[in-house]
Amino acid sequence: MSFDGLKFNGNVYSNYELVHLANGLLQQKKITNHDKALLQFIKECVAPVKTIQVKTSGSTGEPKLIEIEKQQMLESAKMTCRYFHISRRTNMLLCLSAEYIAGKMMVVRAFMSGANLVVVDPTNNPLVDIKQKIDFAAMVPLQVESALSNPKTRKIFNSIENVIIGGASVSSKLQKKLAKCTNNVYSTFAMTETLSHFALKKLSGKSKSDLFEVLPGINITTDDRGCMIVNAPLLNDLPIITNDIIECIDETHFKWLGRYDNVINSGGVKIIPEKLEEKILPVIKENRFFISSLPDKRLGQKVVIVIEGANRMEAKKLEKHIEKLVDKYEKPRKYLLVKKFVETSTGKVKRGETVALTINSRKAQK
All residues at 6 or more sequence positions from 157 whose CB lies less than 8 Å from its CB, including other chains: 127, 144, 147, 148, 163, 181, 183
Angle at CA of residue 163, ends 160 and 167, nearest 5° = 145
Among 262, 294, 324, the domain boundary falls at 262
Distances (CA, A) of 336 to 159, 162, 356, 363: 41, 39, 11, 12
> In one letter, which amino acid is 99?
E
Could you tell me if 258 and 270 lie in one domain?
no
Q: From CA 298, how far away is CA 271, in angstroms rounded?
A: 16
- Residue 227 β-bridge partners: 245
Position 362 scores a pLDDT of: 59
With respect to residue 169, please indicate whether it lies within any of the assigned structural domains: yes
Strands 116-119 and 91-94: parallel
Could you tell me if 234 and 340 lie in one domain?
no
Assess whether pLDDT exceeds 60 at residue 262. Answer: yes
Q: Are the beta carbons of 195 and 73 closer than 8 angstroms?
A: yes
Position 191 scores a pLDDT of: 81
Assess whether pLDDT exceeds 80 at residue 155. Answer: yes
Bigger pLDDT: 140 vs 168: 140
Could you tell me if 64 and 180 lie in one domain?
yes
Could you tell me if 140 and 127 lie in one domain?
yes
Could you tell me if 257 and 177 lie in one domain?
no
Number of domains in the chain: 3
With respect to residue 1, please indicate whether it lies within any of the assigned structural domains: no
With respect to residue 335, please indicate whether it lies within any of the assigned structural domains: yes
With respect to residue 197, please indicate whether it lies within any of the assigned structural domains: yes
**Average pLDDT of 25-43?**
91
Of 165-174, 265-274, 355-364, the range with the lowest mean pLDDT is 355-364
Could you tell me if 319 and 350 lie in one domain?
yes
* Region for residue 59 given its phi and psi (left: phi exceeds 0; alpha: psi -120 to 50; beta: otherwise): alpha
Among 209, 229, 254, the domain boundary falls at 209
Instruction: Name the band, by pLDDT with cuts 50, 70 and 90, for residue 361.
Output: low
**Average pLDDT of 176-196?**
90
Could you tell me if 239 and 306 lie in one domain?
no
**Average pLDDT of 196-201?**
93
**Average pLDDT of 145-152?**
96
- Residue 11 β-bridge partners: 8
Residue 341 CA to its chain's centroid (Å): 17
Q: From CA 169, how far away is CA 141, in angstroms rounded?
A: 7
Q: Which of these, 187, 190, 165, lies nearest to 244 by C-alpha position?
A: 190
Position 237 scores a pLDDT of: 82
Could you tell me if 288 and 158 lie in one domain?
no
pLDDT digits (tens, 9 = 90+) for 301-341: 999 999 999 888 989 999 999 999 999 999 999 999 999 99
Could you tell me if 232 and 306 lie in one domain?
no
Assess whether pLDDT exceeds 90 at residue 150. Answer: yes
Q: Which residue spans within the chain are E strands per DSSP?
A: 6-8, 11-13, 51-55, 65-69, 91-94, 116-119, 136-139, 162-165, 184-191, 196-202, 212-214, 219-222, 227-231, 240-250, 253-259, 264-266, 269-271, 289-296, 300-308, 334-338
- Residue 139 β-bridge partners: 165
φ, ψ dihedrals at 43, nearest 5° = -65, -40
Q: Are the beta carbons of 180 and 157 closer than 8 angstroms?
A: no
Q: Which of these, 309, 263, 264, lies nearest to 284 by C-alpha position?
A: 309
| Residue 238 DSSP one-character state | S
With respect to residue 312, please indicate whether it lies within any of the assigned structural domains: yes
With H, G, I as helix, E, B as strand and everything else as coil, classify residue 291.
strand
Residue 42 CA to its chain's centroid (Å): 23
Provide the CATH number for the domain around residue 328: 3.30.300.30
| Residue 262 DSSP one-character state | G
C-alpha torsion sign, points 120, 123, 129, 134: positive
| Mean pLDDT for all residues in the chain | 91
Could you tell me if 253 and 320 lie in one domain?
no
Domain that holds residue 268: 263-365
With respect to residue 282, please indicate whether it lies within any of the assigned structural domains: yes
Position 365 scores a pLDDT of: 45
Instruction: Name the band, by pLDDT with cuts 50, 70 and 90, for residue 258.
Output: very high
Could you tell me if 49 and 153 lie in one domain?
yes
Could you tell me if 329 and 297 lie in one domain?
yes
With respect to residue 267, please indicate whether it lies within any of the assigned structural domains: yes
Q: From CA 91, how far away is CA 101, in angstroms rounded?
A: 20
